[in-house]
Amino acid sequence: MSEEALIGLFVATVQFGTLVFLAALGELIAERAGVLNLGVEGMMAMGAVSGFMVGLETGSPWAAFFAAAAVGALVGGFHALVSVVLGADQVVSGLALTIGGLGLAAYVGRNVVGERPETLFTDLGIAGLADIPWIGEIFFDQPPVVYLAVLLGFSVWFVLARTRLGLAIRAAGESAPTADTAGHSVMALRSGAVMVGGAFAGAAGSFLSLYMAPGWVEGMVAGRGWIAVALVIFGAWRPGRLALGALLFGFTLALQPRLQSFDIELLGVEVNRISPALLGILPFVLTVVVLVIISWRYRHRPSVAPAALGLPYRREER
């Protein structure tokens, strides 16, 4: 395999990693507040199509990116209304969001299939660093969204771990009555978290349609929303581990289309004869393995998963 192909693989790893990291970071916020959102796939599709259309219209990738985030927040708001305010089953509402979001995205985008916007995100060659061999190309010559994602990762960690708001969000996700009786509005915290999470997923969708695979076709999210949901578990609900997991999952995603071009042998198997589909399930297999390890290691202490995850809260219910 050529050096160029190998660098290409790592460049794509970072980009796929960013894609699932952004979406998973949003899901992490919602889950730390106690709301499971299985609608990530649908929210990403809505973000992808709406971002792409705004990009076509305005020619500004940033306007498109933020429009996609706004649409994601709106879709998240729907999930918040149904599952947080009205107390419906979060799993049902989230699945409805995925199915409905995918369908609605296909409908909204039916007339822009095959079009191409004039301007897309361009790679930022960071002065001085981008010229370093290998490392420069892989880490310092990427589109701005990659760096934004890193910044957001740090911000989310900081807010959750080091601020009053973060403490309240964590309390709402661990024990809603505790947060409530301490004087926090569980409804506001959870709704806010779901909407911010939706914004992240929508923005991630637009990164797909405005940079990674410019254009819009139905089904282009292709299960990456589910990978993001799995990634939150893989990352044990911690932003730092989420980032590491994102690079690992990003690697499997980047490897998938390239697998056939590798002529190496691993453990006596010719790599290019492995089915890409098999590679596609790797993130989920890894997630299950991590889940088993976590539950084993935490068998004598409170689980790492937010204890109130998936449980609706109504104050006067007894």
Partner 1 sequence: MASSDADYAVWLRGIEKQFPGVIACAGADLRVRPGTIHALLGENGAGKTTMANVLAGVYRPDGGEVWVNGRRRFFQSPADAIQAGVGMVYQEFRLVPTLTVAENIVLGAAPRLLRGAEIEQRVAELSAAYGLAADPARPVWQLSMGERQRVEILKALWRNASVLVMDEPTAVLTPGEAAELGVTLRAMAAEGRSVVYISHKLDQVVAFCDEATVLRRGKTVATVDDLDDVDLQELAEMMVGSSQGVAMDRPPPVDTGSEVLRLQGIHAVGDRGLPALTGIDLTVRSGEIVGIVGVSGNGQKELAEVISGLREPTEGQVSVKGQDVTAASSSDRYRLGLAYVPEDRLGMGLAPKMSVVDNSVVRSYRSQRRGLFLSTAKCTEFCRGLVERFGVRVGRLNDPIAGLSGGNLQRLLLGRELAGRPSVLVAAQPSRGLDVQGVAAIHGHLIDQRADGVGVLLISEDLDELLALSDRLLVMFEGRIMGEYGPDVTPRTILGAAMAGNPPR
Q: Which residue do the tokens 């691993």 mark? A: 266
185 is an interface residue for partner 1 by CB under 8 A: yes
Q: Of the listed pieces 183-191, 201-209, 225-233, 285-293, which binds partner 1 according to CB under 8 A?
A: 183-191
297 is an interface residue for partner 1 by CB under 8 A: no
Q: Shortest Cβ distance from residue 175 to partner 1 (Å)?
A: 5
Tell which one of 170, 203, 205, 235 touches partner 1 (CB under 8 A).
170
Interatomic CA distance for residues 23 and 41, integer angstroms: 9
Q: Of the listed pieces 132-140, 143-151, 182-190, 202-210, which binds partner 1 according to CB under 8 A?
A: 182-190
Tokens of 42: 């649908």
Which of 37, 19, 41 minimizes the C-alpha distance to 253?
19
Tokens of 238: 């911690």
**Which residues on adjacent β-strands are paired with residue 269?**
266
Of 122 and 181, CB closest to partner 1: 181
Q: Is-contact 26 237, C-beta < 8 A?
A: no
Tell which one of 56, 88, 130, 167 touches partner 1 (CB under 8 A).
167
Sign of the alpha-carbon torsion through 257, 263, 265, 269? positive
Query: Under 8 Å CB-to-CB from 52, ≥6 apart: which residues?
Result: 64, 109, 112, 117, 206, 209, 210, 215, 216
Q: Interface mask (CB under 8 A) for partner 1, residues 111-150, using x and -?
A: ----------------------------------------
190 is an interface residue for partner 1 by CB under 8 A: no
Q: Is-contact 200 69, C-beta < 8 A?
A: yes
Q: Shortest Cβ distance from residue 179 to partner 1 (Å)?
A: 7
10 Å CB burial of residue 134 (0-12, 13-18, 19+) is exposed
193 is an interface residue for partner 1 by CB under 8 A: no
Q: Shortest Cβ distance from residue 307 to partner 1 (Å)?
A: 7
Applying the rule CB under 8 A, the residues between 209 and 268 that interact with partner 1 are none
Q: Shortest Cβ distance from residue 305 to partner 1 (Å)?
A: 10
Query: What are residue 142's phi and psi, to 5 degrees?
Result: -120, 165
Q: Shortest Cβ distance from residue 168 to partner 1 (Å)?
A: 7
Of 163 and 272, CB closest to partner 1: 163
Tokens of 88: 């419906």
Rule CB under 8 A: which residues touch partner 1? 161-164, 166-168, 170-171, 174-175, 177-185, 299-302, 307, 315-316, 318
